[in-house]
Structure 1
Amino acid sequence: MVDYADLVKTIVTRLVTKPEDVEVKQEVADGKVKVSIKVNPEDMGRVIGKAGATIKSIRVIAKAAAIKSKDKVDVVVEE
């Protein structure tokens, strides 16, 4: 299985001001891969972006990476 958490973590750590606080977890349940992102509260706006544009882009990248292996990937930002 592809390590989607590593892909997402690479993207997110370059966006935030405190990359040491970035935590990304990957879980598989019911045939779906769930990638959870946890960042410093100060960096939450950077990850979500204006009108959610940044997190939508991260989700698109993760889903594009999953096309070849036919995985279903869901990226979630935790508070």
Structure 2
Amino acid sequence: MKALIETIVMPLVEHPEDVVVTIKEEENKIVYHLQVHPDDVGKVIGKNGRIAKAIRTIVYAAKNNENKRIYLDIM
């Protein structure tokens, strides 16, 4: 899942070397924290959050059949 998030986000940003995805796994959920360069935050979020919503939709659709919920936080 981490590779999927990086594959989606890196072409969108001007500083792909600053894209960092960290994983925090809890009992009933998995949280992916996406950090990008401050200049690229607007490109990842998009107008009215459309790009962020699309990224989240893809990530949620690609989840495994585990009983854990998946969340994507954009820092």
TM-score (norm 2): 0.91
Per-residue CA deviations over 1:26-47 (Å, capped at 9, x if unaligned) read: 1211221101000000000000
| 1:5 to partner: Cα distance | 1.4
- Equivalence for 1:12: 9
- In 2: Cα distance, 1:37 partner to 1:77 partner: 5
**Runs of 4+ displaced beyond 4 Å:** none
Q: Which residue of 1 aligns with 2:43?
A: 46
Q: May I ask how many residue pairs the two structures share in their alignment?
A: 74
For 2:47, the aligned partner's letter is K
Q: Percent identity?
A: 36
TM-score by length of 1: 0.87
Unmatched 5+ stretches in structure 1? none
Partner of 1:35, secondary structure, is: strand
